[in-house]
Amino acid sequence: MTKKYRNKEIEYEKKGQFDRDLNEEHRTADARDIGGGYRYLTKTPGERLRRFFLIPAVRVFGTIYTFFAYGFRVKGRKNLRAVKGGAVSVCNHVHEMDTLMVKLALGGFRSYHTGSFYLLKRGWAGRIFKAGGFLPVGTTVKDLENLQTTVGSLLQRGKIVNFYPEHALWYRYEKVRPFKIGAFRFAVKFGVPVLPMFIEFRQTRLRRLFRMQKKVILHILPAVQPEEGGSLKAKAQALSDRVRAAMVQKYEEVYQKKMTFLTEASAEEEKAERDAGHTREEKRERAAASKPRAAQEQTPSAPAADEAEEQTEGAEAAATA
């Protein structure tokens, strides 16, 4: 990750702009058109044949590549085996290869992956993406209705559809950002659980010795079921809150620290300094009130006392310099 992106992450975190892209210049000129009833799933013999050969190749070569390049590992596969039917999966969006990693964790033929429409390019690149199970998210109502129909069909067939509810990709960012509610609406609408996944970055002695980036570990957490009763929006929000809480808990478990954003940390520091200031003033007032009246009359005025205190501090500073 470049220093420019890291500085942007810090800036956006302080401002609370967690869904803002670090690279805001998206190439859309060569994006494939998904309007006019775009067909999401592979239907023609050529498309099916392409998918039949592509998925095994991705599984073999993707496993080798991610292991040697990133030390990639998956933990919690038993939680995936517990999901028998369709499910919505969500993951923190923190690595340029996280879609490949999620696919390797969930299974190539079982998983499909949503992403911004401009990632689906014209030509062979777009055909390969489609064969791999990429579902472009458009910007019009018609596009979203088409996507919803496709997602519903996949879930009914026992597939897993992955979303990145943080929306924007922040490179190797460790914390769990706030979620968009869209993925959880799908889960509630179609009555399927949400499978949370959390990507951890872990440093090892060997990787530090060779100055390599931290290894990537993907944790599959237990599935979270939608609640009964209430409106679709209320249930989706409740589901989002529970899933994010589980991912935050995993963050605090693996990194052994409480998750706080810079905005929260700054507020806490400011409050601590303010409270400390009040405490010092209260101590001075109690000390002044406890002095005998005669001593108070002999006590120099406030400006004089402040001047004397400054002179004392200056002398102490000079002595320790």
> 10-residue block means of pLDDT along the chain (321 residues)?
83 94 87 88 94 96 96 96 95 97 96 95 93 94 93 97 97 97 97 98 91 95 94 96 98 96 70 61 62 48 44 41 37
Q: Cβ neighbours of residue 19 under 8 Å, at least 6 residues apart?
A: 166, 167, 168, 177, 178, 180
- Which of helix, strand or coil describes residue 159? coil
Phi, psi of 128 (to 5 degrees): -65, -45
Single-letter residue type at 290: S
Question: What is the model's pLDDT at position 302?
Answer: 43
Angle at 246 between CA 271 and CA 180, to 5 degrees: 80
Q: What is the CA radius of gyration of the chain?
A: 28
The Cα 65–Cα 117 span in angstroms is: 26
Question: What is the model's pLDDT at position 156?
Answer: 96
The Cα 103–Cα 105 span in angstroms is: 5
The Cα 114–Cα 150 span in angstroms is: 11
Paired tokens of 59: 């599984």
Report in angstroms the alpha-carbon separations of 274 from 15, 263, 313.
22, 17, 22
Question: What is the model's pLDDT at position 70?
Answer: 96
Question: What is the model's pLDDT at position 26?
Answer: 85
- Which of helix, strand or coil describes residue 39? coil
Single-letter residue type at 279: T
Please report where in the chains the tokens 């991912």 appear, as a residue: 247
